[in-house]
């Protein structure tokens, strides 16, 4: 299933801005101290705009380590380095590793979402394993463009739903 549609740069920027503005209006954003973001690929919402509204928050990004995602705090999105599969990830600095129990809010990409919170990822299961390891109190926010919203998705036992889906 491929719901990541090509958007012009101007459309992606505008839609990403609206998504980020919507995130900053949810209660979980206001109470969050540790926020997990992702380095967007060109067909995903640019959630790095949230750095503008991040005063008082610690931002961290996932890094693929074996079959799981480890979380590392970064000082800015410029700290992310290109790695395999055209991803930008933080360096594996043990001093910057974030324990799963400290996560308050995680912003999650996907290929497609339902409004109820079902998510179709890229197929590696990395985010499902990450979401399963987070504390129950961590708020899971799926982000996508409206073109990626679908009425239904197949679910498997290991699939983890998000608490809310935000599109522009």
**Domains of the chain (ranges, CATH numbers):** 9-166 (3.40.50.10420)
Q: Against a cut of 0.95, is the pTM above it?
A: no
pLDDT along the chain (168 residues), means of 10: 67 96 97 97 92 94 96 94 87 96 97 95 90 97 96 88 97
Number of Cα atoms under 13 Å in the Cβ half of residue 162: 24
| Cα 168 off chain centre by | 15
């Amino acid at each position: 299933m491929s719901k990541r549609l090509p958007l012009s740069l101007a459309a992606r920027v505008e839609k990403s801005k609206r998504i980020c503005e919507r995130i900053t209006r949810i209660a979980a954003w206001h109470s969050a101290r540790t926020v997990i973001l992702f380095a967007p690929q060109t067909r995903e919402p640019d959630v790095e705009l949230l750095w503008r509204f991040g005063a008082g928050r610690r931002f961290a990004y996932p890094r693929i380590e074996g079959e799981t995602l480890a979380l590392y705090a970064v000082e800015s999105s410029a700290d992310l380095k290109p790695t395999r599969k055209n991803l930008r990830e933080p360096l594996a600095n043990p001093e910057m590793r974030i324990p799963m129990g400290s996560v308050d809010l995680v912003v999650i990409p996907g290929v497609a979402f339902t409004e109820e919170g079902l998510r179709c990822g890229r197929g590696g299961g990395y985010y499902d394993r990450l979401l399963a390891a987070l504390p129950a109190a961590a708020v899971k926010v799926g982000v996508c463009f409206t073109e990626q919203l679908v009425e239904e998705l197949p679910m498997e036992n290991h699939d983890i739903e998000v608490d809310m889906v935000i599109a522009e």
